[in-house]
Amino acid sequence: MVFAMLAGTLTWAGAAQAHGTIVSPATRAYQCWQAWGSHHTDPAMQQQDPMCYQAFQANPDTMWNWMSALRDGLGGQFQAKTPDGQLCSNALSRNDSLNRPGAWKASNISRNFSVQLYDQASHGADYFRVYVSKQGFNPTTQSLGWGNLDFITQTGRYAPAQNITFNVSTSGYTGRHIVFVIWQASHLDQAYMWCSDVNFV
């Protein structure tokens, strides 16, 4: 059902570049689009989902273009070229609302969880890097910096496909965290970075 919805939205998004995002655990922009995209003018959002509300108020294109949070030519220098406090937006000023700490809706996950990429353009991956915010970091009040992350794993290559899923194993995490994922696409030197809000249960 998720991918049927996605297919329709890529047409609706118009001129947006169709690439991909992590759909599970959902990234901030994707979660807001999924929850509110079809009724983003509903005044109830301000009370029910204030972080998505502020994101739509700041720039609704952040949600319409949930598949296009990319930068070219980083050469693997992710930390050097992505300042602290700008990780969740991939240092894209148009998506700065995604960097704001607050009560983002979180997905419940276990210590062993799966990461699922939907890539409409089937770019493939040189690799994915997965990080988890350190125990004690509070995503509701703190902006995310590199020093707040634990590196968990780097995958191998993935052939071009629209759907890529891989497993991640962690230990020692409880409560709210951010899962931070970097996708280095294979077709170009093109890097995507996202924050997914999670609750380890």
How confident is the prediction along the chain (201 residues), in pLDDT tens digits per residue? 444 344 444 333 333 456 899 999 999 999 999 999 999 999 999 999 999 999 999 999 999 999 999 999 999 999 999 999 999 999 999 999 999 999 999 999 999 999 999 999 899 999 999 999 999 999 999 999 999 999 999 999 999 999 999 999 999 999 999 999 999 999 889 999 999 999 999
The number of beta carbons lying within 10 Å of the beta carbon of residue 26 is: 25
pLDDT of residue 14: 35
pLDDT of residue 6: 45
CA–chain centroid gap for 174, Å, is: 20
pLDDT of residue 143: 98
Which of these, 183, 151, 198, 192, lies nearest to 66 by C-alpha position?
192
Are the C-beta atoms of 118 and 18 separated by less than 8 Å? no
Fold adopted by 2-200: Coagulation Factor XIII; Chain A, domain 1 (2.70.50)
pTM of the predicted model, to two decimals?
0.91
pLDDT of residue 10: 39
Cβ contacts of 182 within 8 Å, gap of 6 or more: 78, 128, 129, 191, 192, 193
pLDDT of residue 18: 60
Beta bridge partners of 196: 27, 179
Token code pair at residue 142? 């703190």
Q: How far is residue 99 from each of residues 15, 50, 73, 127, measured CA to CA in Å?
A: 25, 14, 22, 24
Q: Where are the domains of the chain?
A: 2-200
Token code pair at residue 168? 């991640």
pLDDT of residue 121: 87
pLDDT of residue 17: 53
Task: Quick: pLDDT tens for 150-168.
Answer: 999 999 999 999 999 999 9
